[in-house]
Amino acid sequence: MNANTQRLQIPGPAGALEIAIDVPPGDSALRGVAVICHPHPQHGGTMDNKVAQMLARSFVQLGYRAVRFNFRGVGGSQGRWDEGRGEIDDALAVIAGQRVAGLPLALAGFSFGAYVTSQAARRLAEAGEAAERLVLVGPATQNFEVAPVPADTLVVHGEVDDVVPLSATLDWARPQHLPVVVVPGVGHFFHGQLTLLKSIVVNAWHRPA
């Protein structure tokens, strides 16, 4: 993301996982740790996807250590595509290795990564280790089983998303009485509107949940 991004490998369930860490500048105390999941590996998704990077920038601005990672078989991560099952295990391994005792954990994901985020969050909650809050951008509600999420989850979807129809996400959100932030005129990848996406995330965090 920038010259100060730390890239390294950590143990994962299918071999080493490549991660990237960005931290707030200066000596300010960390507010928490945010783990960010990238879009579909079979369609070119990596941790350097522009939406994933903007989510990382959002959390760094909020005072979080932002951790992105490549799912198994992507970039420098070992293993092979596992149709979404093993990828949840990858996320949980990164969370376990990167969360800091005593600091809140935020989880975020874009598209397929939002599906993984929702499922990882559900497992953490079942284990009594719930995340502080979730951010789901353009969640892949049409092709994957995006899990129900807490009421304070921030869900952002483009009005004219041509990959995941807005209607699919509204159908998923409706039974949960879950608000969805709809960005007018924006497609799946938020082209030209990434700064707006960052503002939505930062402003939502500054308001009481």
pLDDT in tens, 130-187: 999 999 999 999 999 999 999 999 999 999 999 999 999 999 999 999 999 999 999 9
pTM of the predicted protein model: 0.96
What does the pLDDT look like over 93-121, one tens digit per residue?
999 999 999 999 999 999 999 999 999 99
Nearest to 134 by CA among 40, 34, 39, 41: 34
Query: Is position 183 within any domain?
Result: yes
The stretch 24-47 carries a mean pLDDT of 92
Query: Is position 1 within any domain?
Result: no
Q: Which two tokens stand for residue 8?
A: 């390294």
Predicted pLDDT of residue 1: 62
Do 6 and 21 form a contact (C-beta atoms < 8 A)? yes
Domain membership of residue 66 as a residue range: 6-206
CATH of the domain at 88: 3.40.50.1820
Query: Is position 163 within any domain?
Result: yes
Do 104 and 205 form a contact (C-beta atoms < 8 A)? no
For the chain, the domain total comes to: 1
What distance lies between CA 40 and its chain's CA centroid? 12
| Alpha carbons 73 and 80: distance in angstroms, whole number | 5
Do 106 and 32 form a contact (C-beta atoms < 8 A)? yes
Query: Is position 41 within any domain?
Result: yes
Query: Is position 165 within any domain?
Result: yes
Query: Is position 52 within any domain?
Result: yes
Q: Where are the alpha helices (DSSP H) in the chain?
A: 50-61, 85-98, 112-126, 166-173, 194-206
Q: Which residues pair with 6 in a beta bridge?
A: 21
Predicted pLDDT of residue 27: 65
Predicted pLDDT of residue 89: 98
